[in-house]
Amino acid sequence: MHLSETVNTGFFFLAPWIIFAPVVGLLVNIIFGGWFLKRSWGEAAVGTVASLASGIAFAVSALLAWSLSAAHGEVVVVPFAEWIHIGSLQLDWTFRVDTLSVTMMLAVSGVGTLIHIYAIGYMHEDVRFKKDEKRYQRFFVFMNLFITMMMLLVSSDSYLMLFVGWEGVGLCSFLLIGFWYDMDTLGRPSWANSNAANKAFIANRIGDFGFLIAGFIMFWAFGSFQFDEVFTQVGAIAPGIITAITLFMLVGVTGKSAQIPLYVWLPDAMAGPTPVSALIHAATMVTAGVYLVTRSAPLYSTVPAAQYVVALTGALTALFAATIAVGQYDIKKVLAYSTISQLGFMVAAVGMGAYVAGMFHLVTHAFFKALLFLSAGSVILGLERGHHHLSHHEGHQGHEGSHHEEVRRTEPVEVFDPGDMRNMGGLRKTMPVTFWLYVFGTLALAGIFPFAGFWSKDEILLDASLHYPDIYWILTLAAFLTAFYMGRQIWMVFFGEPRHEAAAHAEESKPIITIPLMVLAALALLGGGLNLPGAHTLGHWLEHTLGEIEVPEFSLMVAGVSTALALAAIGISWLVYGRNPLKAEQKDPLKKPLGFLFTGMENKWWVDEGYKWLILDNYVRLSKFLAEVIDWRFWHDWFHEKIIAGTYNWLSNIALNKYADQQGIDAFANGLGEWTKEVSASLRRVQNGFVRSYALSVLLGVVLILGYLLLK
Amino acid sequence: MVPEIYYITLSAILFTMGALGVLARRNALIIFMSVELMLNAANLAFVSFANTFQQLDGQIIVFFVIAVAAAEVAVGLALIVAIFRSKHSIDVDQMSNLKG
């Protein structure tokens, strides 16, 4: 490791350890994990190693942040290794430590560590409900690999290294969505989870394709991938090229950050275990797109048209996903659409040039959405425990008579969905800790004062109201719906009477699960302190990287409107779902008044079906056409069989065999033989066996030769 | 001095008799003797020409011919004896095993 002059002060030399700590963690778990798991303390050991690895990455990130503030926020570049040296392209593996990357590192490793700790408890139960305890080890290896890749993404100094991390987190996402690859979310044998993983991977590939094109154009125009080299040349490049780069980059962002039109993979990604949903599909990986746009701020700032497209994409996604979230019944699906919606807020923010607001919302969202997902995981575990308890109880009764047991075995296994909110209700009493944690997350997400979400969402809305009134209205409507669907969720899950036996017997989760949640809840409450109006701590911190940033004045109007709308939305949700709690088997009370609209929300506006009809079916049709008509009938049957094989057969059979071979060469050879036979048959008459006639021939020959010699 | 044309004429007559003997007779011994007659007709021609042109080449050739003829007689007689032993005949017309 060779260090440049600038990094000799502070802890910058530790920068590579943000990657190597999780690498060491995953290696330890790969090599010794199986050995650990054979012991009674094995799961604790595997989980502790993984959490420690992530925790060390967090500690290093914190040290980097401290050193950075001591160095007055100057960008520090820590060269680590030679990477690609081809001609004029000189790319090294370099760690870029600046205020933006450190912010991301802290968010990723901080939330990541809490989720690792939570996962120790969660996966302990999950592997038992799914009956494959050996996968415990694999889970933590993947989680550490994800932290590694995400750190690579945020710490890179060039677009190419960023792309390596970008693909790496995509891989981890695929591996973890398909973690229970041989079953569906209810544990029945099926390819559902595996298909969800494929869907995520393929949708991301489409986005990555856009990112790649952006990279190609960038290298063609700028001759470099390195951030500083690219950004200093921005003025010299035609705006049209920069617009192309930024728009293709937006395609990558819509894939990774789940924006219209590529967001469809994220709801299906809920097939992964809940800590995965919290870490990858809510808090960190999906924000990579937001980070990318923020990082490319010098590019985006020069092309307002592209900025507007980004902002509009984000705003429309925010509203569209919020409407779908209203009509969902699965507790994690609601949160998934909520995540898409909140990512829309962030993308809209960075599109409008409000990079600080976007990053602020990214960090606070990481806190409260991780909290919500993990609490939802706790709820699901609680219901599974209740259901397990119930069936165990029944089984115990049946044990008294052996014939009862026989009967029980032949019964079809009851399909119980522990994530369906229609199976819940009244969990406030059975799971009080989780309830309060969930309320904290909900208030933060809904944007209620003084929770973190209030401050960050308000800043986005404030920026929008100043520059883009149309986007402001879209986002405000989305914020209203956000509060509404979260209120609906709270009333449906925690209030009223249990709608299923399992909900009535739900049990509270252990401290290993609830304590990380309490930390997150505290962050969700206090996270707004990062960037309070007036102080703008985060804004001034990021200024070192992003340059001068406009700091809009806190507007009581905007804050008042959004808070009033959020409170109104929660009030309406109480009127609909809280006042008259849902009964078992009862239809959603919104179904009647909203009619078609609600059916649309329930069915995700048939976007998946639309994609199937528009893209998948045509794609399959095209593939079938290519396979059957072009490949088989045209190439195989016609071209190969008829043209090539037919011509060859004709040539060899008719032309060569019949004419050239049989009638040419054969005839010549046979004719030669025949002729030789005939000639020899006539010649053999000379060999009559009479010595005296031979002697006469000799005499005649001599006479002839002598006659010739004499007469010539 | 006898003119050389007489020797040549005698030689030609002798050669013709020998040739006719070879072609016309069936007895292998007679054929053999006819061959000797033809050889000696040639010898006669050689010596007469040698005498006429006063050169010794012809005389020398004759010695060679006599020597070869002696060898031929030795081989030929042995063959005839062998044929007689296997066929109990020396009729050349019966020796037609190599007929085509």
| Inside any domain, residue B100 | no
pLDDT interval class at A1 (50, 70, 90): very low
Joined together, the tokens standing for residue A347 give 């993308």
Cα radius of gyration rounded to whole Å, chain A:
37
Lowest mean pLDDT across A173-182, A408-417, A567-576, A651-660: A408-417
% of chain A residues with pLDDT over 70: 96
pLDDT interval class at A60 (50, 70, 90): very high
Partners of A183 in beta bridges: A189
Question: At A75, which amino acid appears?
Answer: V
- Whether the predicted pLDDT of A409 surpasses 50: no
**3-state SS assignment for residue A612:** helix
- Across the interface, of B23, B31, B96, the residue whose CB is closest to A696 is B23
Joined together, the tokens standing for residue A232 give 């200093």
Cβ of B42 under 8 Å from any chain A Cβ?
A: no
| Inside any domain, residue B70 | yes
| Inside any domain, residue B99 | no
Question: What's the mean pLDDT in A26-30?
Answer: 94
- Across the interface, of A687, A688, A692, the residue whose CB is closest to B23 is A692
- Whether the predicted pLDDT of A279 surpasses 50: yes
For residue A684, which residues of chain B lie inside 8 Å, CB to CB? 100
Best interface-test mutation with A: which of B79, B96, B97 has the largest number of A CBs within 10 A?
A: B96
A555-584 pLDDT, tens digit each: 888 899 999 999 999 999 999 888 888 887
User: Between chain A and chain B, how many beta carbons pairs sit less than 8 Å apart?
Assistant: 34
Joined together, the tokens standing for residue A469 give 């009134």
- From A683's Cα to the closest Cα of chain B, the distance in A is 9
Taking all residues of chain B, what is their mean pLDDT, rounded to a whole number? 90
For residue B96, which residues of chain A lie inside 8 Å, CB to CB? 688-690
- From B97's Cα to the closest Cα of chain A, the distance in A is 7
Kindly give the residue spans of alpha helices, DSSP state H, lying in B1-100.
4-24, 28-53, 57-87
Distances (CA, A) of B32 to B27, B37, B45, B76: 9, 9, 20, 8
Taking each helix axis from N to C end, the angle separating A304-326 and A331-351, rounded to the nearest 10 degrees, works out to: 160
pLDDT of residue A399: 42
| Inside any domain, residue B98 | no
Question: At A561, which amino acid appears?
Answer: V
Rounded distance between C-alpha atoms, residue A299 and residue A106, angstroms:
25
- Whether the predicted pLDDT of A410 surpasses 60: no
Asked if B100 and A688 come within 8 Å (Cβ–Cβ), the reply is: yes
Which among A380, A319, A347 is positioned nearest to A255, based on CA atoms? A347
% of chain B residues with pLDDT over 90: 68
Cα radius of gyration rounded to whole Å, chain B:
17
Residue B50 is part of which domain span? 4-92
For residue B38, which residues of chain A lie inside 8 Å, CB to CB? none
- Whether the predicted pLDDT of A360 surpasses 60: yes
The span from the first CA to the last CA of chain A, in angstroms, equals 108
Residue-wise DSSP of A146-161: HHHHHHHHHHBSBHHH
- From B3's Cα to the closest Cα of chain A, the distance in A is 24
* DSSP state for residue A236 in the 8-state scheme: G
With a CB cutoff of 8 Å and minimum separation 6, the contacts of B27 are B90, B91, B92
Cβ of B17 under 8 Å from any chain A Cβ?
A: no
pLDDT of residue A6: 52
**3-state SS assignment for residue A78:** strand
User: CATH code at B55?
Assistant: 1.10.287.3510
Cβ of B26 under 8 Å from any chain A Cβ?
A: yes
pLDDT of residue A8: 59
pLDDT of residue A413: 56
Partners of A432 in beta bridges: none
A183-197 pLDDT, tens digit each: 888 888 889 999 999
Asked if B23 and A695 come within 8 Å (Cβ–Cβ), the reply is: yes
Question: What's the mean pLDDT in A576-599?
Answer: 82
For residue B45, which residues of chain A lie inside 8 Å, CB to CB? none
pLDDT of residue A500: 85
Residue ranges per structural domain of chain A: 1-215, 609-703
> Taking the C-alpha atoms of A111, A113, A117 and A119 in order, what is their torsion angle to the nearest 10 degrees?
70
Asked if A692 and B26 come within 8 Å (Cβ–Cβ), the reply is: yes
Rounded distance between C-alpha atoms, residue A627 and residue A223, angstroms:
41
Count of domains observed in chain B: 1
Question: What's the mean pLDDT in A634-663?
Answer: 87
pLDDT interval class at A426 (50, 70, 90): confident
For residue A687, which residues of chain B lie inside 8 Å, CB to CB? 98-100
Residue-wise DSSP of A556-593: HHHHHHHHHHHHHHHHHHIIIIISSPPPTTPPPTTHHH
Establish whether the linkage from the previous residue to A261 is cis, with ω within 30° of 0.
Answer: yes
Rounded distance between C-alpha atoms, residue A374 and residue A327, angstroms:
21
Asked if B22 and A690 come within 8 Å (Cβ–Cβ), the reply is: no
- Whether the predicted pLDDT of A712 surpasses 80: yes
Residue-wise DSSP of A620-635: HHHHHIIIIIIIIIII
Question: What's the mean pLDDT in B45-49?
Answer: 93
pLDDT of residue A412: 47
| Inside any domain, residue B97 | no
With a CB cutoff of 8 Å and minimum separation 6, the contacts of A259 are A253, A289, A313, A314, A317, A340, A343, A344, A347
A117-166 pLDDT, tens digit each: 999 999 998 888 888 888 999 999 999 999 999 999 999 999 999 999 99
Query: String of b and e for A430-465 (b: at least 16 CB within 10 Å)?
Result: bbebbbbbbbbbbbbbbbbeebbbbbbbbbbbbbbb
Partners of A78 in beta bridges: A95
Rounded distance between C-alpha atoms, residue A198 and residue A178, angstroms:
8
Residue-wise DSSP of A649-697: HIIIIIIIIIIIIIIIIIHHHHHHHHHHHHHHHHHGGG--S-HHHHHHH
Establish whether the linkage from the previous residue to A450 is cis, with ω within 30° of 0.
Answer: yes
For residue B19, which residues of chain A lie inside 8 Å, CB to CB? 699
Contact A68, A7 (CB under 8 A): no
- From B96's Cα to the closest Cα of chain A, the distance in A is 4
Best interface-test mutation with B: which of A683, A684, A688, A690 has the largest number of B CBs within 10 A?
A: A690
| Highest mean pLDDT: which range of A15-24, A125-134, A402-411 | A15-24
